[in-house]
Structure 1
Amino acid sequence: MTQDTTDLKDQVRRLGADFVGIADAAGFLSPDYTGNKPQDFMPRIRSVIVIGVVIPKGCVQPLPKGRPEYTNTLMAGTATLRVIAFRLARDLEKQGYLAALVPTEGSEFGMWYADRETLRADISLKYAAWLAGLGSYGLNQLLITRETGPRIRMTAILTDAQLSADHPAEATLLRPECAGCQRCVKACPVSAISPDGAFRPQACRDYMFLTLGGLRCGMCLRVCPL
């Protein structure tokens, strides 16, 4: 039986999230999706609850100055999401369901969670967010929301609870505005983003962890006009 999610979404917002959406886990079985599937981890999964917070403009606008402040603000967003997601997962299990937390997108431990060669995570959080109607992809490989563009932080809960699912708000994964913009392509200090949509995650990772010593870059997010 499919459960209404109104109370669940209200609870998530009360706990401090700025947005929440529900993705039908069956969407990951589409032939158009080529990433790792949550079904490989949780065979009876039915729903993916995506939650997020908005990153304050004050840490983004000064970039590339203020990268310690920018990085610390991102980590605060990560900590906030972990607490919210953990409480929600516990509540779901008290109701008799299984629940597990997905690593926060772009977390300080991102490369630990992903395959060391491909840097693919066990589940694409951005794809889950698109399925849940929260936004679409930018050329910068970030999720673009209608309200705050890419200035967000997300995590998700995998569960076997059959929840009423949301639907993609955009017909295509990639925002059409990106084709004529290219600002993120020009702003990337290591040319990790290509005009044709190709992305070199290893170049991005090496710049942040080797050149910046673990601080986050943020330039593709900084210049995005959406």
Structure 2
Amino acid sequence: MNHDLKAAVLRRCRRMEIPLVGVAGTGRWENPPFEPWMPEEFYPQSIFPLARSVIVIGLPVHLPVLATAPSIYYHELYKTVNTLLDQYTYRLASFLNDRGYPSVFVPRDGYGSIEVLRKNPVAFFSHRHAAFLAGLGTFGVNNALITPEYGPRVRFGSVLTAADLPPDPLREDDLCTRCMKCVEACPAGALDGRDYPEGLTDKAACAANSADLARRHISPCGICITVCPVGEDRQHYAPAGGEEPRYRRAREHVQRYGGL
């Protein structure tokens, strides 16, 4: 395994100010950590046959902005983070290609729109499962990947590479507290309170709510990840996102403008 190359990738990520980076070998998809698991056509080596490793990066979603969701503020932050993920993973893939290792980036969202997702509610690659297999977090009742640093308030992008990189260990601790705040707060009633993967998001209900927000230009929803109590970012921003009057006033102000 190429330890020196992994060290170079990590240095590159630090220069790009990427706070979360993990690596998974493609063999981990072939040995499912839980059931049910995804079909083989969703494996990285099915999408890019030369793939031997998957590099996953994560960027945080800033809690005070997320706490205004649904709003134009979070809508723009969501787009910004997605754009950065696509740019960074493209640059990492190019970095590896320049060193002789065939590599490709995977776009953050593998679907065209919410309306497309309502008809075919599956993207062609799951970044959150890649992040799980790269040791960046564990799944919560909200079906999102929870990290120690940012709870579920982080978005992921992936690079599929022919480089044989040392994998990071999977997390053994379960980060979800089962507080059920996400279940209670979901405006679509899309969460049933069971642990993932037994309890799966009602994709139709979630997508219908997202489609309504999209028509009002204030998608995505974001409430289930806003209320999650896990993450060091809660201490960093405390008490942002809470019910202290000045934060509530700020949230209500933002929500009045920019959308329908």
Band the TM-score falls in, shorter-chain normalisation: 0.7 to 0.9
- SS of the counterpart of 1:97? coil
| Distance in 2, Cα, partners of 1:167 & 1:112 | 37
Q: Give the superposed CA RMSD.
A: 2.3
| Distance in 1, Cα, partners of 2:200 & 2:166 | 34
| Distance in 1, Cα, partners of 2:69 & 2:94 | 38
| Distance in 2, Cα, partners of 1:53 & 1:6 | 20
Give the drift of 1:202: 2.2
| Distance in 2, Cα, partners of 1:74 & 1:199 | 20
1:1-226 alignment, distance < 5 Å: 1-4=1-4, 5-31=6-32, 32=34, 34-35=37-38, 36-64=42-70, 67-104=71-108, 109=112, 116-117=119-120, 119-170=121-172, 175-178=175-178, 181-196=179-194, 197-213=199-215, 215-226=219-230
Give the drift of 1:115: 9.4
- SS of the counterpart of 1:177? coil
Q: TM-score, normalised by structure 1?
A: 0.87
Point out where structure 1 has 5 or more consecutive residues left out of the alignment.
Answer: none
State which structure, 1 or 2, has the greater radius of gyration over its C-alpha atoms. 2
Give the drift of 1:17: 1.3
Whether the 8 Å CA contact 2:66–2:222 is kept in 1: the answer is yes
> What number of residue pairs does the alignment pair up?
218
Give the drift of 1:166: 0.4
* 1:167-196 superposed Cα distances (whole Å, 9 cap, x missing partner): 111266xx4522xx1111111111111112
Q: Which runs of 4+ in 1 moved over 6 A?
A: 112-115
Whether the 8 Å CA contact 1:2–1:163 is kept in 2: the answer is yes
- Residue identity in the other structure for 2:50: R
| Distance in 2, Cα, partners of 1:127 & 1:7 | 24
| Distance in 2, Cα, partners of 1:211 & 1:144 | 24
Q: TM-score, normalised by structure 2?
A: 0.76
- SS of the counterpart of 1:9? helix
- Residue identity in the other structure for 1:79: T
